[in-house]
């Protein structure tokens, strides 16, 4: 793997930084403090993504036949790093371009490509993902939301929980059980469901990570055409596995964490604390964690750029990203103490997100278990020694 950026990627990064300097409002930090689910940031993000799309920068990594720039995974990496470094102004749409769009590209029909990909690549549509349920979180295969076939339609009944941005979404990337006789990962399908469909209701779930961030979605006798299914019936697990592999490294959180470190180092200097050897250790550990997360993410990106299938390295990169977030959160407390939790500060936002990072998109413990099985060939049924 070549760790040197090419001239084309370096130029793109420079132009992207200038674009961000021009497009982000002076009050961006205040605007974004309530999170991407807030009314203010959601409205800004739609406008911002439209401007990105006009320049061809919303989906530079997508193939040209799907409305992208055909630039590949490394351009995607540059885009993700620069967006996350400034607080992800794409808001909820980072999901669209990182994994929902690519999943539709791989598993969708020609009609689904025509219907869904142009609105995503133009920044004019917003998606949410209906995965977790009250009794199916880390064990996603335990989901109970049913989709019973009725002629050319499915009748969907069930509940989804912790769904981000459902209040703003136009569509839901919905995971359902289409064969109740099959357990586990079998009998699961993916449906692409308009959120305006009769029988869908959304309720906000208050959270510490931002305004209107999480929601419950209730499906009551919701009729969904069969041609809204993505991939084969009862074959949705492969679709979800692909999507999650994109998601776990699509968010360059290490870039945001690195920027927070720089801000905290400046704060420590202003407070006259940079000579504190314990604080120096914390600063070094946080920076090392961020660099480890970055390099491990690059390994996965390189595999993707070569066209290789998702590998266990994805799980390793995911854990490293989470640990970088937590290291920076600890650093914030070391520098500012309780003042690090002042609402609206860059340290506070990072701290709140770091706490959830070990749960979202697959708990860290689950990721470590997968790493143990795939890299170390450990017996999943073995009991821990006392």
Which residues does the annotation mark as catalytic? Answer: 247
Q: Using CA atoms, how far apart are residues 237 and 242, in angstroms rounded to an integer?
A: 9
Strand partners, 189: 176
Q: What are phi and psi of 214, to 5 degrees?
A: -110, 155
Alpha helices in the chain (DSSP H): 7-23, 28-31, 39-54, 73-85, 93-95, 101-107, 110-121, 236-250, 253-270, 277-305, 313-336, 346-357, 364-376
The residue whose two tokens read 């209107």 is 212
Q: State whether residue 215 is helix, strand or coil.
A: strand
Q: Given the DSSP bridges, would you call strands 127-130 and 153-160 parallel, antiparallel or unpaired? A: unpaired
Q: Using CA atoms, how far apart are residues 161 and 292, in angstroms rounded to an integer?
A: 32
- Pair of tokens at residue 134: 């009250």
- Pair of tokens at residue 72: 């590949």
Query: Beta strands of 88-241 (E only): which ranges?
Result: 127-130, 146-150, 153-160, 171-177, 188-194, 200-205, 214-225, 229-230
Kindly write down the DSSP assignment for every residue of 226-272, as one continuous string.
Answer: GGGEESSTTBHHHHHHHHHHHHHHHS-HHHHHHHHHHHHHHHHHHTT
Q: Using CA atoms, how far apart are residues 261 and 23, in angstroms rounded to an integer?
A: 24
Torsion of CA 68, 70, 74, 77, to 10 degrees: 0
Q: Given the DSSP bridges, would you call strands 229-230 and 214-225 parallel, antiparallel or unpaired? A: unpaired
């Amino acid at each position: 793997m070549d760790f040197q950026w090419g001239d084309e990627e370096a130029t793109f990064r420079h132009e992207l930084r200038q674009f961000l300097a021009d497009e982000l409002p002076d009050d961006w930090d205040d605007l974004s403090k309530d999170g991407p689910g807030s009314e203010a940031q959601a409205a800004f993000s739609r406008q911002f993504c439209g401007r990105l799309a006009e320049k061809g920068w919303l989906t530079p990594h997508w193939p040209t036949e799907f409305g992208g720039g055909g630039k590949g995974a490394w351009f995607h990496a540059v885009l993700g790093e620069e967006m996350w470094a400034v607080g992800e102004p794409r808001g909820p749409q980072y999901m669209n371009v990182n994994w929902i769009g690519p999943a539709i590209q791989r598993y969708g029909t020609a009609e689904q490509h025509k219907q869904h990909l142009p609105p995503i690549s133009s920044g004019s549509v917003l998606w949410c993902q209906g995965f977790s349920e009250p009794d199916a979180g880390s064990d996603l295969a335990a989901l109970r939301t049913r989709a019973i076939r009725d002629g050319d339609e499915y009748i969907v009944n069930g509940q989804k929980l912790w769904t981000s941005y459902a209040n703003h979404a136009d569509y839901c990337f919905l995971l359902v059980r289409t064969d109740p006789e099959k357990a586990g990962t079998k009998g699961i399908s993916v449906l692409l469901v308009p959120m305006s469909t009769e029988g869908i209701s959304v309720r906000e779930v208050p959270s510490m990570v931002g305004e209107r961030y999480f929601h419950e979605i209730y499906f009551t006798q919701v009729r969904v055409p069969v041609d809204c299914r993505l991939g084969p019936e009862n074959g949705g697990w492969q679709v979800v596995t692909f999507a999650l592999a994109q998601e776990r490294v699509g968010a360059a959180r290490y870039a945001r964490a690195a920027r927070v470190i720089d801000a905290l180092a400046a704060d420590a200097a202003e407070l006259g604390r940079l000579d504190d050897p314990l604080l120096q250790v914390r600063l070094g550990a946080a920076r090392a964690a961020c660099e480890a997360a970055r390099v491990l993410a690059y390994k996965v990106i390189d595999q993707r750029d070569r066209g290789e299938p998702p590998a266990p390295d994805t799980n390793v990169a995911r854990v490293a990203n989470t640990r970088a977030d937590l290291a920076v959160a600890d650093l914030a407390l070391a520098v500012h103490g309780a003042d690090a939790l002042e609402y609206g500060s860059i340290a506070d936002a990072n701290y709140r997100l770091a706490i959830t990072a070990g749960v979202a998109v697959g708990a860290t413990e689950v990721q470590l278990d997968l790493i143990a099985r795939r890299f170390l060939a450990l017996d999943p049924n073995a009991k821990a020694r006392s």
